[in-house]
Structure formats: structure tokens, C-alpha cells
Amino acid sequence: MTDLQKKYVKADDNNRLLSAYRPLPPETLKSLREYYRVGLTYTSNALEGNSLTESETKVVIEDGLTIEGKPLRDHYEAVGHAKAYDYIYNITEKEGLTDEDILCLHRLFYQQIDAEKAGHYRNVKVYISGSRYAVAAVSKIPAEMRKLVKWYNENEKSLHPIELAATLHQRFVFIHPFVDGNGRVARLLMNLALLRNGFTIAIIPAILRHEYIYSLETAHTRPEVFVDFIADRVIATQLDLLRLMREEDDTVNDTVNDTVNDTVNATDARQLSKTEQAVLDAIHEHPTYSYEQLAAECGVSRPTIARTIKSLQTLTRIRRVGSDKTGHWEVI
């Protein structure tokens, strides 16, 4: 069994544990949906450089207030993404995927930013900075999108949900059908595929932006690298939700709660490697250090720091407080 297949098994096991808590009361379902509405909107926008913090994102999309000193576009991105997030829940039970579903997601996200381009494929050539690969030519976008939709509908029930979701995201980004907002729509489509197959959504924190972009770029020749990255994010999000369920729900029998505790605690209790411990110690001493500063402090490369931080986050040994630019690390 490959490492990726083992992650599929782990994700399936976590999903069964989460299923033990169902059916959830309507109030709980509503609060969880709102919890991820803020979380996914914040993280997905932050990956693209949006300056709103998570708490500011919550205020913008739930209270309709503006944040002093923050760009108007950042507000529009938050409101638009929240609307598109609501839409994926509206079509979760729908059979298949259509071109119009994708166009509607972009229209909802981009309407306030540029109404003329919202919900329309691009008619100009674009280049992806930092990538060695060209995206689809303008003339080929409609045909490529039809092929993508056909591929999804033919494979929705045959591929593992993680492979399906990650590959949908990857293929969509390689086409790059819109003039802007492609990353946001790709992550929404990915999470739609997960939800349709009974999984939770997958959160990609902004702190993993470098690894996220690297795995996407590598996927041009090794697609399994990106699938592996998404599998890690699915499992990490599942574990977060299991912790929430364990703490908040006292209606599940003791056997299930003991299993959940064992699953979560086994992840938490794993002995740290020398590199993980060194990075943890450095973060404890210098919580505001950047990746580059941590790399210099620990005598390792920046990619190693990124991988180690991801591991420490999965183990819930550290968390990010505040934004990627002005926040700091906290040792748990």
C-alpha cells in the first residue's frame, strides 16, 4: 500500500468517526456551516493576498460592516466568496456538474469586483507568474471546460473522493478559464466534490501557500504530489472537526468518544523528530519569525521549514494567531 493509499484509509476512518455523530441537530449543522463559511472564505482569500484577518472576514460577511484602512476589493472578495460558498451547498445534492454551475460560482464571487467579467470565460491571454507552463488558449477554453465537466461526471463515483476533488482542482487551474478568481473557484469546486461524497471541506491555511503552489506546479508532471497535499489537508480538517465534536457533543456513546480520543491523541502524542523539535523551540523563542528567519535559526532550508510547520500544525503543536503578514505563532 502506497503512502497516498494509507492516507485515503486514514481519511475514510476519520469520516466514519465523524459519521457516528450524525444526525446532528439543525442548530449544530447551521453553526458548523457558518464556522466553515468564515474559515474557508478567510483562508481561500488569504492565499491570494487578501489582507482581511479571520475576525475581520467574519465581521464583513456576517455583519455587513467595513474595516477601516482595508481595501474595498478585499471586502468584495469576502462577500462574494461567502455567496459562492453558500451556492455549493445549494448544489451538493444535485446530480452531476455543469458548465453553468462553474460560471455561477465565478459570477457570485466576482460580481462586485467586475460585473462585466463575472461569470464569463476570459477573452484575453494570461500568464501565471512563477510557472513554466502555459494555460489554455482563449479559443480552447470552452472545449477544455466541457472536457473537464465530462471527466468529472464520468469519474464522480469511481475515484476516491480525495483524488476526485484534488484532480478537479488541478485540472481547472491548468485551464485557468477566468481572467481572475481561478484559485478561489478551484477550491470551491474541490470542496463541492468532497461534500458530495460525504467528506468535510478541506482548509488550506495561507501559511502553506508556498507548498500549495509548489505542489500544483509539480502536478504538471507528477499529479500525485498535489493529491497527496490535499489528502493531508482533508485529514487535518477532519481532525479539527473531530476535536470540536469531542468537546461539544456529549450525546455520542462512550465507545465512539474513546475511539475519537484515541485517534486525535495518537496524532498529538507522536514523538517529534529532531527537526520538528528544533523548529518548535525556535517558534517558542521567536514567535514572530518569518519562514526565512526560522530557516536561518534552525540551519535548514525554507521548504523544510514549510513542511515542518505543516507537520506541527497537523499535530496541533502550534497555531497561527492573526494574519500571515502581521500575526505570530503560538505554541500549544
Catalytic residues: 176
Q: How far apart are the first and last CA of the chain?
A: 33
DSSP 106-170: HHHHHTTT-TTTTTS---S----TT-SS----GGGHHHHHHHHHHHHHHHTTTS-HHHHHHHHHH
- CB 156 within 8 Å of CB 150: no
How many Å separate Cα 89 from the centre of its chain?
16
Q: How far apart are CA 69 and CA 277, in angstroms?
A: 39
Q: How far apart are CA 134 and CA 148, in angstroms?
A: 17
Distances in Å between the Cα of 67 and the Cα atoms of 58, 61, 76 are 11, 11, 12
3-state helix, strand, coil split of the chain in percent (to 5) is 65, 0, 35
Q: How far apart are CA 6 and CA 3, in angstroms?
A: 5
Q: How far apart are CA 65 and CA 48, in angstroms?
A: 22
